[in-house]
Amino acid sequence: MRLILKWDNHSFETNLSNPIDLSIPLRDSRAGEGPSAWYVGRPKFETVRADGFVGRVAEGGAVNFTNVSFNPHGHGTHTECLGHITKEAESVNSCVIPTLMTCLVISITPEYINGDFVINTSHLPSSKSGSVLLPPAIIIRTLPNLPDKKSKDWANTNPPYLDPQFTKQLVERGVKHLLIDLPSVDREVDGGALESHRAFFGVPKLPRRNATITEFVFVPNDVRDGLYALNLQVSPFDLDAAPSRPVIFPLEEA
């Protein structure tokens, strides 16, 4: 199926038969795969066993029936809302997310500053048309883009993060959905400041209830920088964050 999208006075065509999945799936810790962060260990998949019942066909059970223990923020691709940093309960399931939206994929090599790797305003994308407007969604691929992003334990590694001024300018230029291949947009240890989260979600003065941040994506190396159509699929959890599956489709000017 082919579809026409319009953005910034331009028309783009996409083929929905060619999806590119950017999610990192949640896997059993025994498989030794899947990323983790925030000191929560690895996810656990446990076969249900009770009163003679075995939830595993390989062990003679009628069905596979598994309990899963995980943390949305610490395991795999997830999407969060402003409820991640507010006293009031806010659910990502209440966010209004377009079924399909224009997004920009950009690759950035973080700058080494005072012992940290930082994405700052010098990395902001420019526009060929001269417009300051950015698409409603932006996907940041950090370089080097190594495959261990999909299985690494990020705890105590001080990963790269976004300078809050960079984040503020994304908001000012129209970005509502921010996706990144890191465990957080903020520094791992920042004393609870969470400045980039606050800047993006407009907390506390101008809360943006339909804005989202998606972390732990993985953008394959063969995906070129540029414009795509994004279908951001979020599991219906009544929480501040939930597992998600961002899928992109290449765009061509119509």
Could you report the per-residue pLDDT of 93-115, keeping only the tens digit for each?
Answer: 999 999 999 999 999 999 999 99
| Nearest by Cα to 137 from 45, 10, 235, 227 | 227
In a domain? residue 97: yes
Amino acid at 110: P
Amino acid at 65: F
In a domain? residue 41: no
Given pLDDT bands bounded at 50, 70 and 90, which one contains residue 29? confident
In a domain? residue 32: no
Whether residue 217 has pLDDT greater than 60: yes
CA 76 vs. chain centroid, Å, equals: 9
Whether residue 228 has pLDDT greater than 80: yes
Neighbouring-strand partners of residue 55: none
Total domain count for the chain? 1
Composition of the chain by helix, strand, coil, percent to 5: 15, 35, 55
List C-alpha distances in Å: 245 to 189, 217, 235. 27, 9, 8
Which domain range does residue 240 map to? 2-26+72-253
CA distance 72 to 78: 6
Which position has the higher pLDDT, 221 or 34? 221
In a domain? residue 55: no
Total-model pTM = 0.95
Whether residue 129 has pLDDT greater than 60: no
Q: For the residues 233-242, what does the mean pLDDT come to?
A: 98
Counting Cα atoms < 13 Å in the Cβ hemisphere of 228 gives: 26
pLDDT digits (tens, 9 = 90+) for 151-193: 999 999 999 999 999 999 999 999 999 999 999 999 999 999 9
180: domain CATH number is 3.50.30.50
